[in-house]
Amino acid sequence: MSFGALVGISIAVLGLGGISGFYLPFLRLPLSIQALGSFGIGVAGLAIFATGSSTGASFTNAFHPRFGVDPLSGLFLAMLSIVATPVLIFSKGYYDSSIRSRAIVVMNCAFILALIMVICARDPVSLLGGWELMTVIPAAMILVAHDREAKARRSVWVYLGVTHIGGAGTWIAILLMAHAGAIGGHVVMQSGSALQIAVALAALVGLGTKAGLMPFHIWLPRAHPIAPAPVSALMSGVMIKISIYLLIRILIDWIGPLPTWIGILVLALGALSSVAGVTYAIFEHELKRLLAMHSIENIGIITLGIGACLLLRSNSEMLWASFALGAALFHSMNHAIFKSLLFMGAGTFERYIGALNIDHLGGLLRRLPIAGGCFLVGSMAIAGLPPLNGFASEWLTIQSLVHLSRFGSFIDSISGAIALALLATTAALAVFCFVKVIGLVLLGSARTHDPPASRLPSRSMDISVGFLALCCVILGAIPGVVFTRMASIAPWNLEVRSRLELHLPTTGSLPTLWIVGVLACLTAIFLLLRGHSSAELAPTWICGQDQSPRLRWTSAGFSKPLKMTLETILRPTREIAFSERGSITQKVAYSGHLPHHFETHIYAPIHRLMLAVANTMRRMQSGSLSTYVFYLIGLVLAALLAVHVGLVR
């Protein structure tokens, strides 16, 4: 059986699962069928990626629907499957069988199909069609999940507004390319031509908006957290990666070598997103919103890899350009895995505790050992700690930037060095952020009473997070199996020798298997030497006071030194209100707020301007028919006059 047939059959099974969910009054069977279909797609995608073969149609500029899979599409199908399969299994335990949940599950299937459609599309029409479906379906799912909440409706509105205004860039880029015949790289654009630059910039704005790249990101921290956890996992894990897929297609595959300033622009956007994304994440208090901000950070790291690839290519360092592309693809894969793991972990906690304010969670590692343990693994992976997969891909990105500094022209080289400093800062900030998250959410004793046992996660939920945690460990131990193929995927066809571990010629190597082994052995030795404690349990020393959850450290307290250090940049506001009676303070109320600069300085002025323009325009709209007839006749008259005078031919 060819891989193409397997893809087709799997999509049919997936669709069948979705349709059966429409008719059956329960969820388990439809979700199992969908998971099976999704698994098949992953197997086929991985096989196509690994063998480097292609199936189905190739790219066309004509407006006829065509579908096919090549190695890059295969990789993203595998990425989709590695997230979607656990998400579907997780959904079995997460949703109840109410009509609302069933509607969400059916739409979830449509969402996965839309993602597959974009990945497999080989012509502009189905590409853009899938692209729009991919944007609209999650909005519908969020609206179904929160139909009575004005705040959620507003967030969905912002999401649709921003992604459509910004997403217009995607349409412009794709249609310009289709017009020039450049889709599929059939026509090589002249480097630095106006058309090429227009396509590149339109793609950056359009795809950057959908990927959540700063400064186009403002929809992301609004829309991702309010979706149900499995949907958030798909959105953060896969949907924003589809933009990365198209960005790689357009900037690297199709429009030929770009002028260096575009590469530097990509690098700058990546660096901005990574540092600012993680910095704002540290000061978030809601777990899913915090994770959404981290998606911006990781998209930034991926974009750094793409930028390094573009610049290394323009400096004719093809081997290192391949590695940089491989680093970007590998980080996309890793982020898909650990981010969906973290979102599903957050979903488990949300169901169990009922809220997700990180200052109110705590002690979950004892109460939910499997979900908590997997969440710990995911946190370490996203923080870029060895020996997990996040470290492997960040190490590769660092190496790419070091070699950009080494080989690039003066300006490229300094841009690379600055990006490197910012990436190092980002990594340290991510460690800071996630140690705070696990400290507040998982560690210590509980801050609330135990919820009823009925809210404990079901086995299918534990299995899916466990699978993803295992993927983090395996890809951390043998990153070479996927990375070497990813580095060979570039259009300039350099074959990179396949290995289990990471080895880059001339520079150092990362013997990941040894690192895992040595770390595990040494820890075991130290634990054995330490022996067991004979002491009685004793409370923590807090100067003899009673242990009270109210005296515990909060997220705000832990991040205070950082906030004070960055005060001039972040400009936090705070209010302290004392209420006194007879010169005795009765109550002290504290509230702190961290304004997001992009919203206050970029979006708010545009927003105000648009409202002012709309206000002026409103005066023209009286609502009475005669006024509109008046406008219409006036317009026709003006047109006639214009033709007569010769303004218009």
Restricted to residues 522-581, the positions that interact with other proteins (CB under 8 A) are 522-523, 525-527, 529-531, 533-542, 547, 551-553, 557-562, 564-565
CA dihedral 254, 255, 258, 262 (to 10 degrees): -90
The binding track of 5-44 with respect to other proteins, each residue x by CB under 8 A or -, is ----------------------------------------
Residue 122 makes contact with other proteins by CB under 8 A? no
* Structure token pair of residue 461: 């939920």
* Shortest Å distance, C-beta 13 to other proteins: 41
Stretch that binds other proteins, among 66-74, 80-88, 409-417, 613-621 (CB under 8 A): 409-417
Q: Which residue's structure tokens are 């397997």?
A: 6
**In terms of CB distance, is 551 or 620 closer to other proteins?**
551
Task: Transcribe 51-117 into DSSP letters.
Answer: HT--EE----SSSS--BEE-HHHHHHHHHHHHHHHHHHHHHHHHS-SSHHHHHHHHHHHHHHHHHHH
Residues numbered 174 to 213 that lie near other proteins (CB under 8 A) are: none
Site for other proteins in 465-484 (CB under 8 A): none
For residue 318, the minimal CB distance to other proteins (Å) is: 16
Least separation, in Å, of the C-beta of 413 and other proteins?
5
Q: Site for other proteins (CB under 8 A): which residue of 509, 600, 621, 627?
A: 509
Least distance from other proteins to the Cβ atom of residue 546, Å:
12
Q: Which is nearer to other proteins, 406 or 596 (CB)?
A: 406
Nearer to other proteins, 96 or 536 (CB): 536
In terms of CB distance, is 545 or 586 closer to other proteins?
545
Maximum Cα interatomic distance, the chain, rounded to a whole number of Å: 102
Residue 225 near residue 292, CB atoms below 8 Å: yes
Q: Identify whether the C-beta of residue 242 lies closer than 8 Å to the C-beta of residue 393.
A: no
Residue 579, helix vs strand vs coil: strand
Binder to other proteins among 346, 395, 486, 488 (CB under 8 A)? 395
Binds other proteins by CB under 8 A, chosen from 152, 290, 380, 461: 380
Instruction: Rank residues 409 and 622 by Cβ distance to other proteins and give the closer one.
Output: 409
Q: Is 304 helix (H, G, I), strand (E, B) or coil?
A: helix
Asked if 55 and 2 touch (Cβ cutoff 8 Å), the reply is yes
Question: Helix, strand, or coil here: 271?
Answer: helix
Residues 272-291 interacting with other proteins (rule: CB under 8 A): none
Residues from 420 through 439 that contact other proteins (CB under 8 A): 420-425, 427-429, 431-432, 434-436, 438-439
Neighbours of 286 (CB within 10 A): 16
- CA nearest neighbour of 333 among 248, 423, 267: 248
Binding test (CB under 8 A) with other proteins, winner from 418, 473, 481, 500: 418
Handedness of CA 523, 527, 530, 535 (dihedral sign): positive
Q: Which of 385, 478, 482, 496 binds other proteins (CB under 8 A)?
A: 385
Contact status: 319 vs other proteins (CB under 8 A): no
Question: Between vectors from CA 365 to CA 360 and to CA 370, what angle results, nearest 5°?
Answer: 130
From residue 608, give the alpha-carbon distance in Å to each of 51, 221, 242, 601.
54, 21, 32, 11
CB of 560 to other proteins, least distance (A): 7
Burial of 241 (0-12, 13-18, 19+ CB in 10 A): buried
510 touches other proteins (CB under 8 A): yes
Query: Judged by CB, which is closer to other proteins: 85, or 415?
Result: 415
Of 224 and 294, nearer to other proteins (C-beta) is 294
Q: How far is the CB of 646 from other proteins (least distance, A)?
A: 60
Angle between helices 71-94 and 99-120 (to 10 degrees): 170
Stretch in the footprint of other proteins (CB under 8 A) among 41-49, 406-414, 570-578, 611-619: 406-414
Supply the minimum distance, in Å, between the C-beta of residue 37 and other proteins.
Answer: 38
Site for other proteins in 89-108 (CB under 8 A): none
Contacts of other proteins in 340-379 (CB under 8 A)? 363, 365-366
Query: For 158, phi and psi rounded to 5 degrees?
Result: -60, -45
Pick from 52, 192, 259, 444 the residue near other proteins by CB under 8 A.
444
User: What is the spatial distance between Cα 530 and Cα 533, in angstroms, rounded to a whole number?
Assistant: 8
Total residues interacting with other proteins, rule: CB under 8 A: 84
**Side chain identity, residue 468:** L
Q: How far is the CB of 532 from other proteins (least distance, A)?
A: 8
Q: CA 199 → CA 173, 243, 629, distances in Å? A: 5, 15, 41
Q: Which of 159/434 has CB closer to other proteins?
A: 434
How far is Cα 505 from Cα 528, in angstroms, rounded to an integer? 39
From 210, 313, 403, 485, residue interacting with other proteins (rule: CB under 8 A): 403
Of 550 and 618, CB closest to other proteins = 550
Which of 583, 579, 406 shows the shortest CA–CA distance to 507? 406
Q: Out of 220, 398, 471, 570, which residue is the one contacting other proteins (CB under 8 A)? A: 398
Provide the minimum distance between the beta carbon of 36 and other proteins in the complex, in angstroms, as a whole number. Answer: 37
Distance (Å, whole) CA 424 – CA 417:
11
Least distance to other proteins, CB of residue 575, Å = 22
Among 386, 467, 498, 499, binds other proteins (CB under 8 A): 386
Q: What are phi and psi of 189, to 5 degrees?
A: -75, 150
* Nearest to other proteins of 471, 510 (CB atom): 510
Residue 291 and residue 339 in contact, taking contact as beta carbons nearer than 8 Å: yes
Smallest distance from other proteins to CB 558, Å: 5
